[in-house]
Amino acid sequence: MPDPPLNPFRFGNFVIDEFADRTAELAEVEADMRNGQDLVIFAPRRLGKSSLVLKAAAVMRRKKGLVAYLNVMTTPNKARFAERLAAAIYADVAAPKAKLKDKALAMFQGLRIVPTITVDPVDGRLGFSFGVGNAEADLEKTIEMLLELPAKIAEEREQRVVLILDEFQEIIDLDPNFPKLLRSIFQAQPDVCHIYLGSRRHVMRDLFSDMNEPFWRSAKQMEIGLIPPAQFARFIRRRFDTTNKALRAEVCDRLLDITHGHPYATQELCYSLWEQTPFDREADDDLLARALELVLQSEHAHFSLVWDGLAAGQRVLLEALAREPGRPLSGAYRNRHRLSGPSSTQTALKALVERELVEREPDGSYRVMEPFLVEWLDELVT
């Protein structure tokens, strides 16, 4: 007998095979990659920025495009940054034509600090180490030269290279002067397409939208939002169908009423609902309620930590916004929810936005972004 199907929903890491919608956004990112148009993507946490760009990158790679991906979150210091950058350039861009270790060495031997190159015995991937105790200036020069490599490769191959920098805001923590350095190198690279993503939205906004910042107006800006429920519903129900379970349309609608098509939250709740639903059965409202309860239980520790870290005024405002998204600075809203005066509400609001708990909508109203936080707060106060 064949093994029973596995849970088809995924959450946590980026996904590229399991994709709901984002057709227009995907086409746009792919076109920008082809055209060499620099791009920065803004979105609240866990909305699918990395997934979107990595899916476009996979399409480019299938067409033999040269794409390097570096997550700056994984590079806590300059030496690591240099090592991971070298590895990304080698694995994704240089490797297709320079598979041998000595070819890679030749490419990296002109650097100020010549890396030690190791071969992973399991998958054969090359690792780069710049050692410890290097002078800061040498390390910086090495990074500069590494950042110039994609352009050299593009010129040699007469082919566009795409460099994706994920969690780009972390660059500031590496060195406050890095934005300036990177910008000055990148602007001389017409054949390299730079794509920037980041999860700390206000930091990213400051980097790209503040005219005193080096990256001001240096890239096309793109926003991504929630996935439209109708598209998400098709994706979800098809997954239940193809794994010998079913989900009634009305129950699916109610699930999406809870998550509003938030990609991560939707996949998390679907994962739980799928687990609760026996094979050859239809998921109903009772199972949905149980699935939600389990998700809230598993998020409890995380939300409690968030809650503990908030000042009293922030808690009151968060609770109000969970009950009613809107304009908390207006007198009517503050009266309705018995909030304090405009200036302390403003201070609390700013803090909640900076912590990415609350989002400003294009129409100027505010709401709690994470669907399960809304549910959790609801249970907390009732």
Ligand X SMILES: Nc1ncnc2c1ncn2[C@@H]1O[C@H](COP(=O)(O)OP(=O)(O)OP(=O)(O)O)[C@@H](O)[C@H]1O
Positions touching Mg ion (CB under 5 A) are: 50
11 binds, among Mg ion, ligand X, none (CB under 5 to 8 A by kind): ligand X
Of 311, 318, 277, residue with least CA distance to 294: 277
218 binds, among ligand X, Mg ion, none (CB under 5 to 8 A by kind): none
CB of 47 to ligand X, least distance (A): 5
Six-digit token string for 255: 């699930």
CB of 234 to ligand X, least distance (A): 11
Tally the residues of the chain.
382
CB of 271 to ligand X, least distance (A): 9
Nearer to Mg ion, 43 or 192 (CB): 43
DSSP for 23-62 reads: HHHHHHHHHHHHHT--EEEE--TTSSHHHHHHHHHHHHHH
The residue number whose beta carbon is nearest to ligand X equals: 48
Residue type, 240: F
Q: Tokens 């920098």 belong to which residue? A: 165
CB of 201 to ligand X, least distance (A): 9
Nearer to Mg ion, 167 or 299 (CB): 167
Nearer to ligand X, 190 or 228 (CB): 228
Tell the burial category of 357 from Cβ atoms under 10 Å away from its Cβ (0-12, 13-18, 19+): buried
CB of 338 to Mg ion, least distance (A): 37
Six-digit token string for 223: 């926003």
Of 350, 253, 266, residue with least CA distance to 47: 266
Nearer to Mg ion, 71 or 340 (CB): 71
Q: At what angle do helices 371-381 and 263-276 cross, to 10 degrees?
A: 70
CB of 264 to ligand X, least distance (A): 4
Binding-site ranges for ligand X (CB under 6 A): 10-15, 18-20, 22, 43, 45-51, 199, 263-264, 267
Nearer to Mg ion, 359 or 375 (CB): 359
Residue type, 17: D
378 binds, among ligand X, Mg ion, none (CB under 5 to 8 A by kind): none
Which of the 8 DSSP states describes residue 100? S
65 binds, among Mg ion, ligand X, none (CB under 5 to 8 A by kind): none
**DSSP 3-state of 72:** helix
The residue number whose beta carbon is nearest to Mg ion equals: 50
Are 219 and 40 in contact by the 8 Å Cβ rule? The answer is: yes
264 binds, among Mg ion, ligand X, none (CB under 5 to 8 A by kind): ligand X
Nearer to Mg ion, 72 or 339 (CB): 72
